With several copies, the nearest count.
Chain A
């Protein structure tokens, strides 16, 4: 599948129908997930209604890390096999991942105010998540600071791979430091510790974020490929 799509022409043909499809899926999943999460799921016996922020917060946290992992894979492929489509994919994913990270940070602090009594605390998880956000910003800034796209792609890929170290730190920060933040309750060895009535809307929202990511990623990639083609055509015109 991936090797098949690695050809830009085939990718363009595939994404021409896949991007709208994923977009549609995202819309449906949000249409189901949001009301379910915000209105029909039970309030928490401890946290009350504020628990509903979770359905926005947790998927954003998961996918901000997921997107970074995806960029890591794409960067590795771009660096080792010099595959330009992988470079395009990594670059196109970054702003989406940065947005997810921002959503996680913002909803996290909104949630923190009522439950912990503070917007922000320099605990391990919060700090490492902020670090992820800044790594995203640095990655994007590096891309835009250079005008030679090929070089920019390779350098950004190196940076992205180095930044992968942060992912396990985020994941395990709650276990390594005793902190304010909740330890893993859904994805942990020994089964999930969350009530099924909350798990349903949560997973739906996670699916919605994923579909949205896939749709936006393909749209960004298509735009980048179009821009490249136009530039190449202009260069060829300039030479003649």
Chain B
């Protein structure tokens, strides 16, 4: 029943002979894969192998050198996905709560979700602190709050567990499991297994 749930439109990623490059260097060569609702895809590879580049291409930020990326079951691909990358996307001078509020507007989330999101990632006590003073792990949790805040079927996560403590990682893997059960699709680049059993593993070797 993993593919039922709130995402009626059954998201799916279809990647066909994708080639990605940085500068003159080719990082991903003729990669093809399909992933559908409920899947958890792990992307593996050494430092500098091209994991981040692949995720950014899936998000639509990096234009492929060749090949195709299709997001099915979504009119506008960028509205079907969340991207949590190496950079947290935070402003030091604004509070954690102000970030939640901003994202709720930016992604079109309800007020209820907005208020629940900080609690979900364990930042209730830090809601009114400016982000500048948060610890590294707290800042990462805040970035992850975007996932909870606005429901979107596809999650692209780049080393999402970076700087998280053991409880934070449990929280993250619970989030991923819940998302899969809702019929979502998760693609995560990792060095260590996050916890959930991957339905497929892509290895990038450049």
Contacts and interface: CB of A to CB of B under 8 A. Distances in A.
Interface of A: 147-148, 231-232, 235-236, 238-239
B25 interface: yes
A147 B129 CA distance: 11
B24 interface: yes
A148 B129 CA distance: 12
Residue picked from B24, B25, B125, B130, most chain A C-beta under 10 Å:
B24
Contact of A147 (B24, B25, B130): B130
Contacts of A239: 25
B24 A235 contact: yes
Contacts of B25: 235, 239
B24 A148 contact: no
Interface of B: 23-25, 125, 130
A147 B25 CA distance: 15
A148 B63 CA distance: 14
B130 A231 contact: no
A233 to B, nearest CB: 10
6 contacts: A148-B23, A231-B24, A232-B24, A235-B23, A235-B25, A239-B25
B29 to A, nearest CB: 12
Nearest to B130: A147
Nearest to B133: A148
B126 to A, nearest CB: 11
Contacts of A235: 23-25
Contacts of A148: 23
A235 to B, nearest CB: 4
A147 B130 CA distance: 9
Contacts of B130: 147
A236 B130 CA distance: 18
A239 B24 CA distance: 10
Contacts of B23: 148, 235
A145 to B, nearest CB: 10
A238 B124 CA distance: 12
A147 B24 CA distance: 12
A232 B23 CA distance: 10
Instruction: Sort A-B residue pairs by CB-CB distance and give the 6 closest, nearest first.
Output: A235-B24, A232-B24, A239-B25, A147-B130, A235-B25, A148-B23
Contacts of A232: 24
Contacts of A238: 125
B7 to A, nearest CB: 34
Given A231-B24, A238-B125, A239-B25, 7 more contacts: A147-B130, A148-B23, A232-B24, A235-B23, A235-B24, A235-B25, A236-B24
A148 B62 CA distance: 14
A158 to B, nearest CB: 16
Nearest to A231: B24
Contacts of B125: 238
A5 B130 CA distance: 35
A209 B46 CA distance: 56
Nearest to B93: A147
A79 to B, nearest CB: 13
Contacts of A147: 130
B39 to A, nearest CB: 33
B20 to A, nearest CB: 14
